[in-house]
Amino acid sequence: MNNQTENYIILKPIAERFNLVAKEITDNDIKHIIKEAMKEQIKGIFDFDKLNEMTEEFIDKNEDEIKRAIADCIFNKLKV
């Protein structure tokens, strides 16, 4: 038996199983896999901890202004 025949005998069952699994994957499964991979890449790019820290600092520094803006918004909605 030559090397090519031996490789075929070994790899054919693996290829057949792979083919069966590949046929069961739906377009939605593929979209989900891509979305999850993109989410992980985005998480790696952005430092969300720093963003959260900056947001908290902004809120702390501008708390009164934010409260006034919320109150004005509620008041304007209630006038209608």
Amino acid residing at 1:
M
Give the structural domain span for 51: 47-80
Per-residue pLDDT tens over the stretch 25-77: 888 998 999 999 998 888 778 777 888 889 999 999 999 998 989 998 888 88
Q: What is the pLDDT of residue 61?
A: 94
Tell me, yes or no, whether 9 and 42 share the same domain. yes
Residue 80: pLDDT band with limits 50, 70, 90? low
Q: Which residues have C-beta within 8 Å of that of residue 59, sequence separation ≥ 6? A: 66
In this structure, the answer to whether residues 42 and 7 fall within a common structural domain is: yes
- Domain count for the chain: 2
**In this structure, are 37 and 60 located in the same domain?**
no
CB atoms within 10 A of CB 58: 11
Do 71 and 59 share a structural domain? Answer: yes
Give yes or no: residues 8 and 32 share one domain: yes
